[in-house]
Amino acid sequence: MVCVHEIAHAVMNIQVALETEDWLIEGLADYAREVLGYQSITGSSPDYDPERLFEGYEPTAHFFLWLRSKYGEGVIKDMSKRISEGKPFDVEQLKRWLHEYKADNERKN
């Protein structure tokens, strides 16, 4: 549902967040929609798509769902809070998670 996605942007203080990587912002908004149980406009669920991971939206939401299942909801909350407050987050840690995410998903295929 588009409204839930856009409300997630408002809660994250999108004016501050626009200065950050937009793929993270769009992915977090779709992640929030998915966690709250609302379908996307297309009715599809986030899935693994390494070619589109950095586009945001559903492919990035899938990464956040994986991150939540592996490391807990606190990781997502912390990242979202840091983005909304304009604070830096650990980019090297994000890179390690992305590497692990890709490896985990490649093993499944």
Alpha-carbon distance of 99 to 20, in angstroms, equals 20
Tokens 């909350």 belong to 77
For the chain, the C-alpha Rg in angstroms (whole number) is 13
CA 45 to chain centre: 13
pTM of the predicted model, to two decimals?
A: 0.83
What does the buried/exposed string (b/e) look like for 80-92 if buried means 16 or more CB atoms within 10 Å of the residue's CB? beebbeeeeeeee
pLDDT of 99: 96
- Residue 16 has phi, psi (to 5 degrees) of -70, -45
- Cβ(80)–Cβ(28) below 8 Å: yes
| Tens digits of residue pLDDT in 39-79 | 777 777 889 999 999 988 899 999 999 999 999 999 998 98
